Structure 1
Amino acid sequence: MIDIYKLNAFVAVVEESNISRAAVRLNMKQPPLTRIIKSLEQDLDTILLKRLPRGVEMTEAGKALYQEAQSILAHAQAIPKRVHNIAQGLEGQLNIGFTNSVSLHSFLPMLLRNFRERFPAVSIQLEEDGSSALIDSIINGKNDIVFLRKPAPIGFELTNLHVLDEPLVVALPNNHPLANDQSAIKLTDLESYDFVLYRRLAGQDLFDNIMASCYQAGFSPRIVQEAPRLTSSLNLIAAGIGLSIVPKAIEDFWNKQIVYRPFSPDTPCIAPIFAVYKADQNHIRLQHVLQLLQHLK
């Protein structure tokens, strides 16, 4: 292993082309510097410098060492700053997970944008998955924070932060009998109609929320078609196969052949969003995210 101290001395001698001037640059005497260079040559078992009447000149091996030494010393000089930046949350990696329906809400891109503007050197790794897999990813440390439609179960020592409540709306084909009805829609108004929902495995939290709301209203929705994703269910709705209950944010993604109607204020349907994470005061990048979340709320 090559001593960084010796490499620094060698680089100084090369750049000054003179041991005496290099000794002045290093704030040391010439004899100790000469011994350092000889020791380095012994370590590498090769001659690095040719002694000239008025200075020194690199050998071919010395040139190779000089190029490597420059890279090594530059990297070594950068280590303290990098370590400090990571300790302050200014560098490193942040792993964020979310369900498909959460990704459609504007708060998420706004959060990511604000974070990147404040901490541009932090790498952000994003993962979209089902809620169960995302909770597992927090438990095993794969993700730092995930965003779900319901809080994590009790017993996993995870922290749940309520981010927001998003209204659910009815998505109807534009030729549906309820599409042009200007009266307030209640859940019970939907009982006799066909439903299109995306598969529970693709969005368990939102699916369960919709089903529970219908059960509380006194009926079980007649699901005639399931879609692999929330956004793909919009194609089926536009085709007239059925209606659906969707987060309000989805209105920004598709309005062709689809009419969105709010629920009556006395029977609102809400889909909350929660941030789930392990409480770790030493995870400074996570603390930065939580601070930004508080400002967005």
Structure 2
Amino acid sequence: MIDIHKLKAFVAVVEESNISRAAVRLNMQQPPLTRMIKSLENELSTDLLKRLPRGVEVTEAGKALYQEALTILAHAQAIPKRVQNISMGLEGQINIGFTNSVGLHPFLPALLRNFREAFSAVSIQLEEDGSSSLIDSIINDKNDIVFLRKPAPIGFGLVSLHVLDEPLIVALPNNHPLANQTDAIHILDLETYDFVLYRRLAGQDLFDNILASCYQAGFSPKIVQEAPRLTSSLNLIAAGIGLSIVPASIRDFWNKQIVYKDLKAEIPSIAPIYAVYKHNDHNIRLAHVLNLLK
């Protein structure tokens, strides 16, 4: 391994074309500098400099070493700053997970935009998955933070931070009997109609939330079809297969052949969003995300 001090000395000699001037630049005596250059040539088994009556001239091998040395020295000089930046959370990578329905809410892109503006050197790795898989990803340290429709289960040492409550609304085919109703639709008025829902395995939290709203109103919804993704369910609604209860943010995402109505119930129907993470005082990038959520 080549000593970085020898590389620095060699660069000075090449740039000064004179060992005496290079010694002054390096604030050292000429004989030790001469020995360093000779040692470097011995290590590489080649002449790096041609000795001239009034200075030195770099050889072809020396030119190649000079270019490599500049790169190595620049990298070495940048290391302390980079290490410091990483320790302060200003560089590195943040891993963020979210369920499909959370990914459709405008709060998430706004959060990512604000984070990018504040910490432009931090890479953001995103993962969309079901809530169970995302919980596992936090437990196994694959993600730093995930956004779900329900808090984390108890007993895993995870922290759940309530971010917001999103109203649930009704999504209807535009030819549905309730589509022309001007007022909010009471949840009990949906009892006799066919439902299309986002599949439980993919969106367990939202699925359970919708069912709970129906059960609280006193009925079990008649589910005629489930969709693999929330956006897929909109295609089925637009096709007239059934209606659904969806987060209000969907209203701005899709309105072709679909009518959205406010939902009325004795117990307000909401779809909350929680940030779930593992408490870690050393994860500075996570702390930056949490600060943006405040």
TM-score w.r.t. the length of structure 2 is: 0.98
What displacement does 1:40 show? Answer: 1.0
The AA in structure 2 aligned to 1:249 is: S
Counterpart in the other structure of 2:184 = 184
Q: Is the 8 A contact 2:187 2:265 kept in 1?
A: no
**Separation in 2 of the partners of 1:252 and 1:187?**
22
Counterpart in the other structure of 1:103 = 103
Counterpart in the other structure of 1:256 = 256
Post-superposition Cα deviations, 1:76-104, rounded to whole Å, max 9, x if no partner, equal 00101101111111110010000000001
Give the match's secondary structure for 2:70: helix
Counterpart in the other structure of 2:268 = 268
Post-superposition Cα deviations, 1:3-56, rounded to whole Å, max 9, x if no partner, equal 111100001101111101111111111111111111111222221111111111
Counterpart in the other structure of 1:281 = 281
What displacement does 1:206 show? Answer: 0.3
Counterpart in the other structure of 1:237 = 237
Counterpart in the other structure of 2:73 = 73
Q: Is the 8 A contact 1:195 1:225 kept in 2?
A: yes
**Separation in 2 of the partners of 1:56 and 1:137?**
61
**Separation in 2 of the partners of 1:192 and 1:267?**
20
Aligned length: 294
**Separation in 2 of the partners of 1:245 and 1:263?**
8
**Separation in 2 of the partners of 1:61 and 1:169?**
73
Counterpart in the other structure of 1:113 = 113
What displacement does 1:265 show? Answer: 6.0
**Separation in 2 of the partners of 1:5 and 1:132?**
54
Q: Is the 8 A contact 1:186 1:267 kept in 2?
A: no
* Alpha-carbon distance change, 207 to 265 in structure 1, aligned in 2, over 3 angstroms: closer
Counterpart in the other structure of 1:202 = 202
* Alpha-carbon distance change, 223 to 265 in structure 1, aligned in 2, over 3 angstroms: closer
**Separation in 1 of the partners of 2:64 and 2:215?**
76
The AA in structure 2 aligned to 1:88 is: M
* Alpha-carbon distance change, 292 to 96 in structure 1, aligned in 2, over 3 angstroms: same
Give the match's secondary structure for 1:263: strand
**Separation in 2 of the partners of 1:281 and 1:107?**
25
Q: Is the 8 A contact 1:49 1:56 kept in 2?
A: yes
**Separation in 1 of the partners of 2:107 and 2:53?**
71
Q: Is the 8 A contact 2:217 2:265 kept in 1?
A: no
The AA in structure 2 aligned to 1:110 is: A
Give the match's secondary structure for 2:63: helix
Within the alignment, does 1:137 sit opposite 2:137 as a pair?
yes
Q: Is the 8 A contact 1:162 1:275 kept in 2?
A: yes
Identity %: 81
Q: Is the 8 A contact 1:102 1:273 kept in 2?
A: yes
What displacement does 1:185 show? Answer: 1.7
Q: Is the 8 A contact 1:90 1:121 kept in 2?
A: yes
**Separation in 1 of the partners of 2:206 and 2:266?**
21
Post-superposition Cα deviations, 1:195-237, rounded to whole Å, max 9, x if no partner, equal 0112111111101111122122221111111111101111111
The AA in structure 2 aligned to 1:212 is: A
TM-score w.r.t. the length of structure 1 is: 0.97
**Separation in 1 of the partners of 2:78 and 2:204?**
46
Unpaired runs of at least 5, structure 2: none
What displacement does 1:257 show? Answer: 1.2
Q: Is the 8 A contact 1:170 1:260 kept in 2?
A: yes
**Separation in 1 of the partners of 2:198 and 2:266?**
26
What displacement does 1:182 show? Answer: 2.4
Q: Is the 8 A contact 1:187 1:267 kept in 2?
A: no
The AA in structure 2 aligned to 1:257 is: Q
More deviation, 103-112/175-184:
175-184
Q: Is the 8 A contact 2:131 2:148 kept in 1?
A: yes
Unpaired runs of at least 5, structure 1: none
